[in-house]
Chains A and B, each alone.
Chain A
Amino acid sequence: MNAMTNFTLHSLKANRVRTAVTIAGVALAAALLTAVLTTYFSFTDYLYRSEAANAGTWMAYAEVDDMAASEGDIARAKDDPRVTGVATLEDAGFAELTEVQQEKLGIYMPILSMSDNVEDIAAIRPSEGRMPENSGEIMLFATWKDYGGVSLGDTLTLSVGDREAVLAPGEKGSESNGSMEAAYGSAYNVDPTTVEIVDGTRLNSTIGYLEATQDGGIFNEQLVNKRERTYTVVGFYNRLGYTLSTGVGTAGVTVDEPETDGFGEVFLTMAGMENANQVQACAEELFPNDHIVLHSAMLRYMGVTSDSSIWSTFFGIVTVLAMVIAGACVSLIFNAFNISVAERISQFGLLSSVGASRRQLRRAVVLEGCVVALIGIPLGLVVGLAGCAITFALLGPAISNLAGNAAVEFYVAPNGTALVAAAALTLVTVLVSVWIPAKRASRVNVIDALRNAGAQRVSKKGAKAAAKAARTGTLWKTGGVVDRLFGVGGKLARINRKRGTAKGRAASVSLALAIVLLMTAGSLNVFLGSLVGVASGGEAPAEVSVTAEFSTDRDSQPSDLSHSEGDGQSSDSEDGGAGALADSVSEKGDRSDGRSSHSAASVLADLNERFAAEAAEFAKTYDYLAESKGAQGIGWLLRSDAAMALPESMVGEAFRVEGGIDGGEMADGRFGTVGTILYLDNDAFDAYAQGLGLNPADFRDRERPRAIALAQGYGNNGDVYQLLDILREPGTVEVLAAASYKDRPADVGIAYYAKDGTGAHYEFQPYLIDDDEGTVTDEQLTLDDVELATVSVEVAAVTDEVPALLGGPGSGVMLIVPASLADTQSFGGEAPIFTGYFDSADGDHAALAEELAARGGEFFHNGPYEMAFYSYNDFVEQMDSSQKLAMVVNVFCLLFTVILALIAMANVFNTVTNSLILRRREFAVMKSVGLSNRQFRRMIMDECANFGVAGLVPGLLVSLAVSWLLYSAVTQSMSGLPFQLPWTYVGLALVMTAAAMAISVAYGMHRCKADNVVEALRADSV
């Protein structure tokens, strides 16, 4: 070991505390980077495994029109070194289904013959039973068991044929038909094959059912070449992945089927692909004549391509965090070494005087950095990885649940790249931080260093200022508030600042950094919090809810009223999970009225009557359920939809932007949409209104309805979450409650049409209900054709406050009224959706859910109406997982905040203390000529105030920028989120930096205390 190395290690040992702090700083940096990168790679790995489990590992497939003819291609693919796996699924005909079967099971059952390892490659695997092993065995979709009455071991004899297009009567020509994959959106390559169809075209399983009257095309289809096939059912599969979703029904899977149609799909997995284009090129090369579909989701998770929005968010956040961490560490480590060098500058002078070369001096400092890195980085890698392992072990199941695939476990995937990147990034950070101090050490002037001369203390500008200040009139000239506040001490501080070299800058920079770090943590918290809040659908209002709707089926509803599905109204009740229960309950409730003609007013009167009766029934239901064993009623509500027109003054941005809400400006300047009327039970409504400072009694007028409306909503267009600015001002809404057309009842929806020149792109679209079948007829009407019955609702207040029962806002206009209004006003709603909320008295929410399900089923069974649906929802079970996600995010944010705060504080402490200690002797001199402790304190306070201000402004500016970057990252998957500064964190940042500064100053002053004056004065250099 040479002398310089020895010297370096010795000095590291001698400054044990600082060395430890610096190593800890490096370790923290490495740990944070490791954690961030490992999380990133673990998620990628998880998503990859999840996608592999859901859809298979295939990277691309070729749609081969004639499998027999392509046998050569397939064999070639199998031999190709780039291809790691090949599996095929071949159309083997379509089994005819009975009409009853068709209702639940699809139009046909396509028979697919598989080969090779489809189980892994295409994720076709049994949930029950086993895979078929010969052409006499078949595996069916699980609905065949649930609804089709088929069980394992059954023998099915099917009439299997081929589909053939037939021109509809009176039509001629051809049409092109898009194949299935368009429906699968961004998960797959959206470049659908279009098939040219002429009379007699053989249709494969990717083409949807052709029925001219339904799809507006010119073709029907028929099954030809029918033959009888017999299969033994050996298994069921329950995940309808892409590969088994055909255009006409759920497939049955067999093997080695001798008679096939020719059409087939060849799934490929490959190795060594760097991007999607290579995959595409490889597949195209192997199957030059066939259409290639890429498994984009898979490729994305494999890192082969990246284009999803949530992914950009994730990547954006990771980048910003890594940058902030690196920045924080550069500052911390730089300061630590800078201080180390500054304190030892006379040592370096001494070394230089005995012949150490510049290079040797520089290397001594760099070596110091390397030693620190050598200990700190491995420590950080271990800590970071261990931290991830522990966190993921605790939260993994929740994350798996949330991702919707509990079967695929979420765990740490230690990734070499992540570790190497974290280590390299930290090492670079250390070396960058060390470089400047090292240069400074090497440039040391022997004499200056030995004398520890104050030459560098004063800047050139400072010298000029000093010369000016010598004029008689300006000597110790004071004035102004600051001087009075800080006195001579402050004056000295300011002189020092003005004339000194950049000593205070390090402290300001570290203060600025502290603010940036804390604000970053804060922004992360705020924005991620919103994302999680939106994604998890808000707070649960109760432990369990039950949701029900009475049927409007024509057969049991002689009142000729109708309610149409699919008119753009969102039935986004929170019945996401949970089990659908009893279906049809009763055939009672005949209420013939024999009316044959309808004015709009009479239609509305009928609706009101029916609605009031149903509402009353639901109120009874709630009371009955609340009496269930262990149940505590929390409240109930009814939802109903209605077309409505709003004045321009009321509507928010969501009405004007594309992808906002379903509705917008109409030709008359008003804004149309289909909104939700929410009837809150009277107690809940009163509490809600009072909470908003409104008088509940104002909303009880049955003839002139008033409502409270929600200002905001959340939307999710499948790609990004949106925060919707729906309503802005109170006003009067006109509800288009009912309509009639030539004495027939009609309903009104909202339709979009393209129109140039004006902003108006929406209009109300009346539609007729077919009396017999309850379906919408295709008669095209305009508003002028029908007679309308409207109801005006005065929106008395627009608020962000969501009623407790609702949990979160909806995706459109929501008008909230008391349940008492249901007695007289249906607003055209026919069958309200009831939701009752209950808590369990003893915490056993699962039992309560069962109990409510049973009691509710029984109650409705004995009631007057047939049920459309009845379901329960165990929020606790659901919320557990979203709460865990929120917890993951919170824990992550908290840890991040704490660690960043530690780094920031250490940094501030280092620099502020250092700036004082380096001037210890100067202070001693001042004290020896009569600087009192009070004056000393004022001087330091003045300095600190200045550091503070100098750090605060750039700190806030930079944090604003960082906040904005994070915000941009988050908004990639959630639009409409308002940009906000995390004010609590701003406060926290200020308090914490002030505290850090106070501690540093206290410590620094302590080291410069009067007892040490003699010591300091004597600390004359050599």
Chain B
Amino acid sequence: MDILTVSHLTKIYGEGEAATRALDDVSFSVQEGEFVAIVGSSGSGKSTLLHLIGGVDRPTAGHVLVNGSDVYARSDEELAVFRRREVGLVYQFYNLVPVLNVVENMTLPVALDGRAVNHDRLAGLLDKLGLRGREGRLPSQLSGGQQQRVAIGRALMNAPAVVLADEPTGNLDTRNSAEIMQLLRDSNREFGQTMIVITHDEEIALAADRIIAVEDGRIVRDERIRR
């Protein structure tokens, strides 16, 4: 079953002469539980693609369907709800809220949704992410790898339809990178979490089920990896 369908997605930044076609008629689908790596050089449009799937930007043309419903048919308010429930975003620079502690950052989407925190899931995630004992720390009191774990925890907390990670290891050393990738891989396997990861790292990409290569706003390669 396709949990995500991207059809004819186009995004143009700027107007007239200065217009940049960041995405040009991109279409593909992702099945539930799939682990997709998107690769491409800098400026190829892969981050734009990720943001459009994550509902933080609006496309110039085309559609994104998550769980069969059109993301951009929603109002801004509904889009916010979509972001809380259906996607989890992980960034290269973690993007944690500096004044919130570890657990608050992780549960922020739940809190924004006005729901009660599932403490069992939280405890499970803390254990899994190795953040036990650091619940009350603020992002500034954590290392880069730990911050990224919190970001992943935030992305997974709501068990979203799809987790989107933009260069999640780009800012980390080799050991931390490997650990973070292992975490993403594990959550994909254990929870069947659909995962789309943008990366430069060929090795990481090879760990995925499928690699989509983007150049100049177009998909130039889309291959499934047989293991």
By a beta-carbon cutoff of 8 Å, the part of chain A in contact with chain B is 453-455, 457-458, 462-463, 466-472, 475-476, 487-488, 491-492, 495-496, 499-500, 921-922, 924-935, 1010-1011, 1013-1014, 1017-1018, 1020
Contacts and interface: CB of A to CB of B under 8 A. Distances in A.
Interface residues of B, number: 47
Contacts of A476: 104, 107, 110-111, 117
Interface stretch (B24-32, B84-92, B179-187, B219-227): B84-92
30 contacts: A454-B140, A457-B99, A462-B138, A466-B100, A466-B101, A466-B137, A467-B136, A467-B137, A471-B136, A475-B103, A475-B104, A475-B117, A476-B110, A476-B117, A925-B97, A928-B89, A929-B89, A929-B109, A930-B85, A930-B109, A930-B112, A932-B76, A932-B77, A932-B80, A934-B77, A935-B80, A1014-B57, A1017-B51, A1017-B91, A1020-B92
A930 B113 contact: yes
Nearest to A930: B84
A931 B136 contact: no
B56 A453 contact: no
A933 B76 CA distance: 7
B98 A922 contact: yes
Contacts of A496: 99
A367 to B, nearest CB: 32
Contacts of B102: 470
Contacts of B76: 932-933, 1010
A922 B209 CA distance: 33
A926 B54 contact: no
Contact of B98 (A454, A934, A1014): A454
A934 B76 CA distance: 10
B47 A470 contact: no
A496 B141 CA distance: 17
A455 B89 CA distance: 23
Contacts of B85: 930
A488 B58 CA distance: 25
B83 A930 contact: yes
B176 to A, nearest CB: 17
Q: Which of B48, B76, B99, B119 has the most CB of A within 10 A?
A: B99
Among A471, A495, A929: residue with most chain B CB under 10 A: A929
Contacts of A495: 99-100, 104
A930 B98 contact: no
Interface in B70-85: 76-77, 80-85
Given A466-B138, A929-B112, A932-B112, A1013 B80 contact: no
A926 B84 contact: no
A491 B93 CA distance: 25
Contacts of B95: 921, 924-925, 928, 1017
Given A469-B101, A1014-B51, A929 B108 contact: yes
B145 interface: no
A926 B138 contact: no
Nearest to A1009: B76
B81 A930 contact: yes
Contacts of A471: 136
A-B complex: 4 closest residue pairs judged by Cβ atoms: A930-B84, A467-B136, A454-B98, A932-B80
Contacts of A469: 101, 104, 136
A455 B80 contact: no
Contacts of B51: 1014, 1017
A21 to B, nearest CB: 28
A485 to B, nearest CB: 14
Interface in B112-160: 112-114, 117, 119, 135-141, 154
B80 A458 contact: no
A457 B107 contact: no
Contact of A472 (B83, B113, B119, B139): B119
Contacts of A921: 95
B114 A931 contact: no
Contact of B112 (A453, A454, A462, A931): A931
Nearest to B154: A929
Contacts of A500: 99
Given A463-B141, A929-B84, A935-B80, A470 B99 contact: no
Contacts of B96: 925
Given A467-B137, A468-B136, A934-B77, A457 B111 contact: no
A545 B43 CA distance: 88
Interface of B: 47-48, 51, 54, 56-58, 76-77, 80-85, 89, 91-93, 95-104, 107-114, 117, 119, 135-141, 154
A1014 B58 CA distance: 10
A1018 B140 CA distance: 19
Contacts of B110: 476
A925 B85 CA distance: 15
Contacts of B93: 1020
Nearest to B158: A930
A470 B123 CA distance: 12
B99 A453 contact: no
Contacts of A458: 98-99, 138, 140
- Which of B47, B85, B139 is the most central at the interface, judged by chain A CB atoms within 10 Å of its CB? B139
Nearest to A487: B114
A925 B104 CA distance: 14
Contacts of A1017: 51, 56, 91, 95
Contact of B56 (A463, A934, A1014): A1014
A2 B212 CA distance: 51
B76 to A, nearest CB: 5
B108 A927 contact: no
A453 B140 contact: yes
Contacts of A929: 83-84, 89, 108-109, 112, 154
Nearest to B164: A928
Nearest to B89: A928
A470 B5 CA distance: 38
Contact of A457 (B54, B80, B83, B140): B140
Contacts of B82: 930
Nearest to B140: A455
A900 to B, nearest CB: 35
Contacts of A1010: 56, 76
Contact of A475 (B56, B84, B99, B107): B107
A475 B48 CA distance: 34
Contacts of A925: 95-97
B98 A457 contact: yes
B111 A928 contact: no
A386 B22 CA distance: 56
A210 to B, nearest CB: 91
Nearest to B83: A930
Given A469-B136, A930-B108, 11 more contacts: A458-B138, A470-B102, A470-B104, A475-B103, A492-B97, A924-B95, A928-B83, A928-B89, A935-B80, A1010-B56, A1014-B57
A926 B97 contact: yes
Contact of B80 (A470, A475, A924, A930): A930
Max chain A Cβ within 10 angstroms of own Cβ: one of B93, B95, B112, B154? B112
Contact of A932 (B57, B81, B97): B81
A103 to B, nearest CB: 92
Most buried by B among A454, A462, A924, A932: A932
B56 A927 contact: yes
Contacts of B137: 466-467
A926 B80 CA distance: 10
A1020 B137 CA distance: 22
A926 B56 CA distance: 11
Contacts of A927: 56, 80, 83
A488 B98 contact: no
A924 B57 CA distance: 11
Contacts of B84: 929-930
A466 B136 contact: yes
Contact of A928 (B54, B58, B81): B54
A927 B96 CA distance: 12
Nearest to A453: B140
A464 to B, nearest CB: 9
Given A468-B136, A476-B104, A930-B81, A499 B111 contact: no
